[in-house]
Amino acid sequence: MASAKVGFIGLGSMGLGMASSLLRAGFQVQAYDLAMKRFNECGGKITSTAADASKDAAVVVIMVTNSNQVDNVLFGTNGAISGLSNGSVIVLCSTVSPAYVQKLGKSLTGEKNILLVDAPVSGGFARAASGGLTIMPSGASEALEKARPVLSAMSEKLFIVEDGIGAGSKVKMVNQLLAGVHIAAAAEAMVLGARAGINTRILYDIISNAAGSSWVFADRVPQMVNGDYTPHSALNIFVKDLGIVLDEAKSLAFPLPLTAIAHQQFIHGSACGYGEEADAAIVKIWQRTAGVNVVALDEGYSPEQIAHKVITISNTVEHIGFIGLGAMGFGMATQLIKSNYHVCGFDVYEPTLSRFAKEGGLTGRSPAEVAKGAEVLIVMVTNEKQAESALFGDGGAVAALSDGASIVLCSTVSPGFIKELEKRLADERRDLQLVDAPVSGGVVKAASGKLTIMAAGTDEALNRTGAILSALSEKLYIIKGGAGAGSSVKMVNQLLAGVHIASAAEAMAFGARLGLNTQNLFDIISNASGNSWMFGNRVPHMLENDYTPHSAIDIFVKDLGIVLHESRGLKIPLHITAAAHQQFLLSSAAGWGRLDDAAVVKIFEKLTGVNVEAKLPVLPKEETLKSLPPEWHVDPTEEIHRLEDNGVAKTLVVLDDDPTGTQTVHGVTVLTEWSFESLVQQFRKRPSCFFILTNSRALSTEKAILLTKEICTNVKIAAASVENIGYTVVLRGDSTLRGHFPEEADAAASVIGETDAWILCPFFLQGGRYTISDVHYVADGNRLVPAGRTEFAKDAAFGYKASNLREWVEEKTKGRVSATSVASVSIETIRNGGPDAVCQQLSNLQKGSVCVVNAASERDVSVFAAGMIKAEIKGKRFLCRTAASFVSARIGIKPKDAITPRELGIFGKQNGGLIVVGSYVPKTTKQVEELKAQCGHFLKSIEVRVDAIALKSEKEREEEINRTVELADIFLKSRNDTLVITSRELVKGSSASESLAINSKVSSALVEIVRRIQIRPRYLLAKGGITSSDLATKAMGARHAEVVGQALAGVPLWQLGPESRHPGVPYIVFPGNVGGNDALAQVVKNWSPPARPSTRDLLLEAERGGYAVGAFNVYNLEAVSAVVAAAEAEKSPAILQIHPSALKHGGLPLVACCVSAAEHAAVPITVHIDHATDKKELIETLEMGVDSVMVDGSHLPFSENVSYTKYITDMAHVKGMTVEAELGRLSGTEDNITVEEYEAKLTDLTQAEEFLSQTGVDALAVCIGNVHGKYPPTGPNLKLDLLKELHFLASRKGVMLVLHGASGLSEELVKACIDFGVRKFNVNTEVRSAYMNALQTPKKDLIDVMSFARESMQAVVAEKMHIFGSAGKAY
């Protein structure tokens, strides 16, 4: 578009330069103005009317003085409208009211559908001529896009202002407010300095490098000092512009006191006849009324050259006393220590002295104590009263000073106080020298030795102290005029600084009332003529609502009080300064005096209800997501698979800065070491993806950089050795933006070479992380909270402020990559244009770009991934910094259900699971609290004291580790899930590196604890990224692992490799910031041993699996342990069955033994009371904690059997117990109870149906020819047809069939019974026989007899389990 035709109307001081910039950019510019000759000389085309200037032009720029002129050039005779084509764009750069712009925009829409861009400019005529303006356009997106090339050609900084047409003019109003006040304040300041006897050119040079500087001061004061008022920007312009501001404020009922006073001064200047002169001519009002001339006289000296000479010949000083270690003083004193001076400091605040001692300083208990022996005494206190007290009060310094010592007073005091102090010191007649050396620059510059110091005094005093002043300053000025001259300069500086703070507050509050985004407003003004040193330094405090006092409001109450006091004596009226002083007084009266001086903005917030704080709003999640365009209509996963299968897509090499990055994938390998051989082996498999666990988030920045370079070097070499393998490096980082960015990306790029773009994609659905309109959000319930407002942004090592990812990049790169240069793929592009639109945008990025990916669903990320693959196929290379969701989307992995222990072959109660918690994020603490609340009844907890392992002696650390290991081994062996958790108080260092060092000590202690635990846990759960990485690699010795899936959404589940300490152990990697408060409890409950099942559960599972469960009669400990051991060995369910005779013999201890054995078994086992015939005994049995009972009323008449069975069944079901009953009667003998053959009877089908309907039993023991004890020599004669019919009947009622007398049945017969529905076999005789036979074998000791008997019974039980088909069926 550089050769396109542009119309330009208005060739004034600014317009001519702007039009010339367009010519240099290659545009054809046809212009109209009354002063056309100048533009003709520049090579532009001159037209005779505005209509001619706009003819055939796609864009017309208007830069006239006011709205009347705009109307005239547009709609007047031969106006531009008549020459404009349909769909043309008008760029209005004039300063007019927002209301006028909005009205004009509506009227132009009806005129040939002409588009309007509201594009006010700032920067002055020189920048206009060089194309260096700041432009703040607003309007419809179509209009902005068409106008962008023209705007870019005229500007150095282009800020698009959102919120539609007129928003740009609102920003310009705020800028003009500041610029107007700053011009008026500069005039007051220069007049005061001139009256105080300071050469104004020297004053200008000093203030330009101090806190009182501003864009206007630097640009306009030279006109005042030179007396040159050539009107590049006329005084009447500010009469008009501030009038627009005040009219708007009036309509909003918003007070602007400083603006109103400045406006009156410009009106005064206009009334005096200076309206057509430069706006700097406002200073002539004072020249006229007070007889002060600010035009500089050349005195023939340079304050900096004198300073250089003084430093060169300065005396050598070793011992310095320092009084006043406040915010500025502390930094200054520690800077002197760094400069190898011996500094003894004093402050009334005791903790400050302790801090100073830690920095290497000496401390005194009084001013006199620090003054004793000091060659130079520096005083940096708040006010004259404190200086008086420190020097001459009780314990004062002057009396203790050695003769010939020097005093450097850096406090802001009045020139009169300085002169009086010099006189008092001279009266001491001890050769005590005074240097008047006020400072400027703020806390940060004080600590880095970069202050601006304006020093004055005798030559002798300056020669003694020059080197010290140099150590504290970046700019040192020696001012002629003796003591008091330095304070006069500082007084002028403070006048400007105070007014600039107060006007910044007024401006930002007004901007908030106008509905502007205050962060964006700050960014724009910082690059425009309204900027000042104080605006750039103090407004961030307002935006952050952080009023930690670096310089308190009461300081300016005092400093501006000094200014006004001096001005009274000098008879100089200071209208704006007085108004600013009143604002600081008002703030102090409101109780904010000790807050940072930026808190003066709270006046406006309190009175008008605005909020300047630049917080992005918390959004309603559901409504926000619904407001987005519909998702792309095609799932791109299949397309991604096709590209993967065809070998077109590159292998993803994911460098994971902690193990939680695998939280969305499965079937993927994780390497914990990155040797050349391991990487080659992976590349040869040609996987779509593999992970390398770096754990770099736990490292210092320096170590993370070296590690990233090492890994990328190995990856590069390994890939080169495998034919036809392409790869893309993904730096998987935290979805809440923590980690080593941009350092790791820089390190990777330095090895793999420059890429076309860095891709930033922190979206992570499972963690509730969304990126919308470039802002990254963290879901909290139904709220979307900007990431910068969450606890994650306060991370001790990786904290940040910005939620907008463009601004986050600028913040993290420390301005190397500006927010405006960061590209982004919008949700609209992804959802409306699909992969092809993404590919096109990525392909068009400038090389070396940073690109943000917006996403609010997994489909969004998949669409982006498909588009990225297509761009890579075209030859583009990318380096990605992403969260976990990008990886799974990029390789086309679909989520699957959470993995259960059973899927990994973990059944019943094995050793306890081990849960290790090291993460300190608040979410983790809440999750642990909920874990204890929900699982405390079975969970053992061990707290590891952080102070003992991180801060105390090595001996105490070792004791704490050993205590934890000992308890953990005991608990795990006892099959208790065990929580090992660090104490919850967060211990931080004084710096990011110290915090990382403490974290490292805690992590290494947890590693040592897990490494020393001897018992193999059923599973290992590590909470927190650093913790999980260290435990896997250092404690468990894993070199690689397979990602099986997830234990919960967003919670990876690994199985460790064969080289690890516990091969195959399930390893749950639980991120510190994932899930709701109950997420950890949910996983632990899912992975805890299943609750002891009911007997009905066992039988129902057998019904589903087509097998039967053995119920083995037990009489003693050996029998119980034999059944449990067999069940665990064969992975089979089983029933411990107690006969009434055994119950009479063993009593409650036998029952307790069975119940305990069942509870601690690694497989499902229940306890059953068999053949209970006595009602009273049976009722007592129900209270013993068994799982099921057999109600044996088979000896009773049918009706009584029904009644008896129903009675007990109802009672048992209330307790959740399973009930078995018998219908028919078995012959034979069991436990000395005999049923004669003539008493036996088969189960009657008709009775069975009635019995089951009326009793509600769960299981029915049938009589089909089976017997208790031994079968006759002829063998069993079972009625299988009857069994089949009974099964048909029982299955309709949901009742399981039981067969007593299984001893002696052949395997074939047993299997036939199973086929016909038997789900429980009672086994007694064969087990008893094995026990009795074992007792016949001689053994040396009772223990040997017991062991042999148990083994004999175990063998029989195991054999039966195989016959019943239950082996391997434990669940």
Cis peptide before 620 (omega within 30 of 0): no
Residue 1312: count of CB within 10 angstroms of its CB? 16
C-alpha closest to that of 1007 among 1035, 967, 1038: 1035
CA distance 324 to 347: 5
N residues, the chain: 1371
Residues 1267, 1270, 1274: CA angle, nearest 5 degrees: 90
Per the CB < 8 A criterion, the answer to whether 1241 and 1260 are in contact is no
DSSP letter assigned to residue 846: P
CA distance 635 to 630: 13
The DSSP result for 1238-1258, as a single string, is GG-BPPPHHHHHHHHHHH--S
Per the CB < 8 A criterion, the answer to whether 165 and 116 are in contact is yes
Q: Is the sign of the CA dihedral 505, 511, 517, 519 positive or negative?
A: negative
CA distance 657 to 677: 22
Catalytic pick among 172, 445, 490, 909: 490
* Strands annotated E in 582-722: 619-620, 651-656, 668-671, 689-693
Q: Does 490 participate in catalysis according to the annotation?
A: yes
* Strands annotated E in 1156-1212: 1165-1172, 1188-1191
Residue 1179: count of CB within 10 angstroms of its CB? 14
The two tokens of residue 1199 are 């009706």
Per the CB < 8 A criterion, the answer to whether 357 and 328 are in contact is no
CA distance 549 to 535: 16
CA distance 1127 to 931: 32
The DSSP result for 95-164, as a single string, is ---HHHHHHHHHHHHTTTT-EEEE--EESHHHHHHHT-EEE--EE-HHHHHHHHHHHHHHEEEE----SS
Phi-psi group of 253: left, alpha or beta (phi > 0 → left; psi -120 to 50 → alpha; rest → beta): left
The two tokens of residue 1313 are 């019974």
> Residue for token digits 């007051």?
188
Per the CB < 8 A criterion, the answer to whether 377 and 343 are in contact is no
H/E segment holding residue 943: strand 940-944
Residue 1342: count of CB within 10 angstroms of its CB? 8
Per the CB < 8 A criterion, the answer to whether 1009 and 631 are in contact is no
Determine the longest span between alpha carbons in the chain, in angstroms: 141
Residues 1323, 1273, 1277: CA angle, nearest 5 degrees: 65
* Strands annotated E in 602-683: 619-620, 651-656, 668-671
315 burial level (CB within 10 Å; 0-12, 13-18, 19+): middle
H/E segment holding residue 7: strand 5-9
> Residue for token digits 């070499």?
717
CA distance 1182 to 1175: 11
Per the CB < 8 A criterion, the answer to whether 902 and 1066 are in contact is no
Which residues does the annotation mark as catalytic? 490
